[in-house]
Amino acid sequence: MEAAARTNDSAGFIPCIHFFQNIKYRATELAKKLKKIGKDDPRRIFHSFKVGLALSLISIFYYLNPIFTSLGSSSTMWAILTVVVVMEYTAGGTLSKGLNRTFATLIAGALGLAAQRLAHALSGHTTGEPILLSVFVFLIAAMATFSRFVPEIKARYDYGVMIFILTFSLVAVSGYREEELIKLALQRLSTIGIGVGLCLAISMFVFPVWAGEDLHELMAANIDKLACFLEGLEEEYFGEKMDIDKISEEASFLKCYKSVLNSKPTEDSLANFARWEPGHGRFGYRHPWQQYAKLGALTRQCAYSIEALNSHISTTKKNQVITDTEFSKRIRTACSEMSTETGKALAELATAIREMRSPSTSAAQHLSSATEASRSLYALSPAKDASLPDILQSANSASLLSEVVKSGRQLAIAVEEFSCVAHFKRQEQAQKDATVNPVAGGESPPHVVIEMEK
């Protein structure tokens, strides 16, 4: 009996050990994940402290009796709620939500008071007043909701329209029962203004995170990823030591560009917030944030061309048939030059954006070399005994890479235009080995013109 009891005790003890080990493992994994999140971007830690600081400061209004008595419990809670919903990660996001909330509350409150007074004047304090108020709420809410489908309003003022609908409905409806409606509206407006002002002050003056800077760095990083792919592709696929069976397993550069394909939502969000931000750092008040949408679209277009090329490479790995070695070698030589020269050009464009200067003449030179290599492919002819699969395979690689070169040229033109509009610093003098013709007087040209092939 004693042996059976010990066996039962040990059998019940083992699941407990596994349970605590599982909890320990999950806690360890969570700690590692949190550490990685903070290490990837330490600003996230500062933002968390900033939100805590804002809530701690705004809670003083609830603890101090004079302020609590003058504002009331419900209005004080509106200040805390404002801090929770307005405080965003970037200063532009906080400005966008804060100003939208403030002006929407002000306009909707005034309009709600006007609707309540108009309904009272038209019907008197009779059963007709709530009917008129319901009609006003229906009309205003319907029109405001429909305005949210307008792309320009949805992009910048969607949150403000939503707060407008909420505030107008509350003011118009509560005005029927509330005796001191104006006092209540002023209390809530003042507490919302205090909460928004506190959030704006902390966001812009305590370790600020500017959406404009993040957007600028994201644009340069995306172009850099494309350059990394093309330079790595030249070495691993088109180079002399090409080993296609080894690429998919060890070459991380094949996936570095994929994040560019899905970067549009992030770019749009950052661009929207950046428009709200005042001039800061290297970015003036009238910085052309709208130009980043064009740059982002061209960058993704180049990434899609690279995606098609990468898919072709994966297919070639599975169904590689090469019979005309000399012909394939000549194709790879031209493609190698196209890939490496375009990659170097894109790397220069990324550096120019990051340093906020006009692209150097080297970008134009690299793209010219890539274009010449692309044109040289038309002069190549396969051997008489070359197989059709070999010809098609090589032609597809060259054609897809030519599209990448074309996209690179379009992106270079856009970067040059952007540098002019944004008033980036110009190159003081052309490089000695530049192939462009110097202007009169020996001075460097004001900018590099890159003509697209038709």
Spell out the SS3 assignment of 128-194: HHHHHHHHHHHHHHHHHHHHCCCHHHHHHHHHHHHHHHHHHHHHHHHCCCCCCHHHHHHHHHHHHHH
Asked whether residue 163 falls in the same domain as residue 240, the answer is no
Residue 130 has pLDDT above 90, yes or no: no
- Tell me whether residue 3 is in a domain: no
- Tell me whether residue 291 is in a domain: yes
Better pLDDT: 393 or 42? 42
Among 62-66, 250-254, 256-260, the minimum mean pLDDT is found in 250-254
- Tell me whether residue 30 is in a domain: yes
Asked whether residue 312 falls in the same domain as residue 426, the answer is yes
- Once rounded to an integer, what is the mean pLDDT over residues 102-114? 90
- Tell me whether residue 242 is in a domain: yes
Instruction: Please say whether the dihedral angle defined by the alpha carbons of residues 324, 329, 330 and 331, taken in this order, is positive or negative.
Output: positive
Among 153-157, 306-310, 350-354, 439-443, the minimum mean pLDDT is found in 439-443
Residue 263: how many other CB atoms lie within 10 Å: 19
Asked whether residue 218 falls in the same domain as residue 199, the answer is no
- Tell me whether residue 452 is in a domain: no
Asked whether residue 278 falls in the same domain as residue 369, the answer is yes
Give whole-number Cα distances, 113 to 131, 175, 335, 394, in Å: 16, 7, 71, 74
pLDDT of residue 435: 42
Asked whether residue 177 falls in the same domain as residue 238, the answer is no
Residue 220: how many other CB atoms lie within 10 Å: 19
3-state secondary structure of 85: helix
DSSP string, 313-370: HHHHHHS-----HHHHHHHHHHHHHHHHHHHHHHHHHHHHHHHTBPPPHHHHHHHHHH
How far apart (Å, rounded) are the C-alpha atoms in residues 207 and 214?
14
Task: Write down which residue in 205, 220, 246 finishes a domain.
Answer: 205
**Across the strands, what pairs with 283?**
280
3-state secondary structure of 37: helix
- Tell me whether residue 245 is in a domain: yes
Task: Write down which residue in 205, 221, 242 finishes a domain.
Answer: 205
pLDDT of residue 11: 54
How far apart (Å, rounded) are the C-alpha atoms in residues 370 and 326?
21
How many domains does the chain fold into? 2
Where does the pLDDT of residue 429 fall: very low under 50, low under 70, confident under 90, or very high at 90 and above? Answer: very low
Asked whether residue 175 falls in the same domain as residue 291, the answer is no
Task: Write down which residue in 161, 180, 205 finishes a domain.
Answer: 205
Among 14-28, 215-229, 258-272, the minimum mean pLDDT is found in 14-28
- Once rounded to an integer, what is the mean pLDDT over residues 313-321? 64
Q: Which residues of 81-105 are buried (b: 16+ CB within 10 A; e: fewer)?
A: ebbeebbbbbbbbbbbbbbbbbebb
CATH code assigned at 353: 1.20.58.220
For residues 385 and 324, is the Cβ–Cβ distance under 8 A? yes
Among 21-25, 101-105, 121-125, 224-228, the minimum mean pLDDT is found in 121-125
Residue 382 has pLDDT above 80, yes or no: no
Phi-psi domain of 441 (left: phi exceeds 0; alpha: psi -120 through 50; beta: other): left
Asked whether residue 334 falls in the same domain as residue 245, the answer is yes
Among 101-110, 282-291, 374-383, 440-449, the minimum mean pLDDT is found in 440-449
Where does the pLDDT of residue 451 fall: very low under 50, low under 70, confident under 90, or very high at 90 and above? Answer: very low
Residue 280 per-residue DSSP state: B
- Once rounded to an integer, what is the mean pLDDT over residues 138-161? 92
3-state secondary structure of 425: strand
Q: What is the pLDDT of the chain when averaged over all its residues?
A: 80
Where does the pLDDT of residue 302 fall: very low under 50, low under 70, confident under 90, or very high at 90 and above? Answer: very high
For residues 280 and 211, is the Cβ–Cβ distance under 8 A? no
pLDDT of residue 349: 94
Residue 252 has pLDDT above 50, yes or no: yes
**Across the strands, what pairs with 425?**
357
Where does the pLDDT of residue 297 fall: very low under 50, low under 70, confident under 90, or very high at 90 and above? Answer: very high
Domain that residue 423 falls in: 211-442
- Tell me whether residue 7 is in a domain: no
- Tell me whether residue 14 is in a domain: no
Residue 127 has pLDDT above 70, yes or no: yes
Asked whether residue 220 falls in the same domain as residue 75, the answer is no
pLDDT of residue 237: 66
- Once rounded to an integer, what is the mean pLDDT over residues 225-239? 77
pLDDT of residue 109: 87
Which of 114, 123, 83, 105 lies closest to 203 in space, CA to CA? 83
Residue 445 has pLDDT above 50, yes or no: no
Better pLDDT: 318 or 340? 340
Asked whether residue 197 falls in the same domain as residue 271, the answer is no
Where does the pLDDT of residue 301 fall: very low under 50, low under 70, confident under 90, or very high at 90 and above? Answer: very high
Asked whether residue 93 falls in the same domain as residue 167, the answer is yes
Asked whether residue 44 falls in the same domain as residue 184, the answer is yes
Asked whether residue 321 falls in the same domain as residue 376, the answer is yes
- Once rounded to an integer, what is the mean pLDDT over residues 200-221? 94
Which of 203, 346, 219, 351 lies closest to 290 in space, CA to CA? 219
